[in-house]
Amino acid sequence: MQQSEYPLRGIRILDMATVLAAPFSSTLCGDMGAEVVKLELPQGNDALRGLAPVHEGHALFWKTANRGKKGISLDVRQAEGRDLFLRLIEGFDVLVENFRTGTLDNWGLDLATLHTRNPRLIVLRLTGFGQTGPYARKPGFARIFEAMSGFTHLSGEAAGPPQHMNYPLGDAIAGLFGAFAIATALAERNAMPREEQRGSEIDLSATEALLRLLDPLAAEYRFSGAARDRTGSRAGYTAPSNVYRTADGAWVTLVGSSDPIFVRLCSAMEQPSLAIDPRFSTNVNRTRHHVEIDDIVAAWCSSLPLQALSARLERHEVPFSKVYSIADVLEDPHLRARNALIELQDPELGAIPAPAVVPRFVGRTPGVPAVGPRTGQDNAAVYGTLGVGPEELERLGLRRVI
């Protein structure tokens, strides 16, 4: 089976968002079979086109993050552009936008106007802080809502500053919630009889998406009076669980949190008496004495090279992994066997490796998506469905409407 037979086949999404979080929502839906049309300004000045990595003048982030989408250009701020947009939106199920709160309203594209033209339209509004509240009109970036959600406060060494990872994780997580929200709204709408179907407006705050991941922290603070803090790579809620260095300089993450696993870890370390030591006999006790047990595990890991350590841990069924770089990911036999990375075909750069479609639907094989589109590459095809011919397209292009 091809991607057209994936679960969201037949769904059409117009993505007029910029950079990463909201566009990632529509990309994920495209992976699931939806037809996604990417709308940009005629200048093609989406900031993602300038973000590293850039190879020979080509933005790899754009090509991979916006994979599988058709590309059109349109300036909805102009009267002709607004009118064309309202004609266009009649044929879509979902609109994805991430402008500052109130921006579309100011352009005459408020929700009432959109629903007058298409009552079934689902509108995803993904912003840093949501559509209401005192911060609603503030600009949002991944590192801002990572910090504001409390996420960044947990990252880093105990004695050091909070740290961000070298990737816009907040954007990716918000995008996941966006795709989930779109699928949820579609399930609700499509469960109704066709004549009764009505669209909805989704207010997704990226800050709240990050906060949603931190399930027990608010309760922990209320009942303990202490805010969870940074502990480096050591888990503060279970032990032992940390990143350890091997004798040959590799890094390994190891989890010995449950009591049965800890017993097996003690056997692997040839220190079975640790399992009955009162300090370490339960996870609660090990967490109280996490420094002591962590030092013991770290010393053992540092005494063995990676290959010997791996063999010992595998033999005793202790969960662990070498900390992979992307180079390791590309060479891992399990990930290669599952085709966890695919090759996007790009007319300018050739094959571009990228993550495969996730999740998999058994018995169906998704097609390989195209790379992110050039600005306006599908103008003729998309606007042609509205009866806009070549001469009109040329005129609109000269006026910078498209």
- Is 346 one of the annotated active-site residues of the chain? no
Strand order in the sheet with 241-245: 241-245, 251-255, 320-322
Out of 15, 46, 171, 294, pick the active-site residue.
171
Provide CB contacts within 8 A for 401, sequence distance 6+.
42, 74, 75, 78, 80, 81, 84
Nearest-angstrom CA–CA distance, 96 and 285:
49
Q: Which two tokens stand for residue 332?
A: 């891992």
Nearest-angstrom CA–CA distance, 155 and 147:
10
55: enclosing H helix or E strand: strand 54-55
Q: CA nearest 46: which of 21, 68, 29?
A: 21
Nearest-angstrom CA–CA distance, 272 and 293:
13
Provide CB contacts within 8 A for 249, sequence distance 6+.
none
Give catalytic residues, as residue numbers. 171
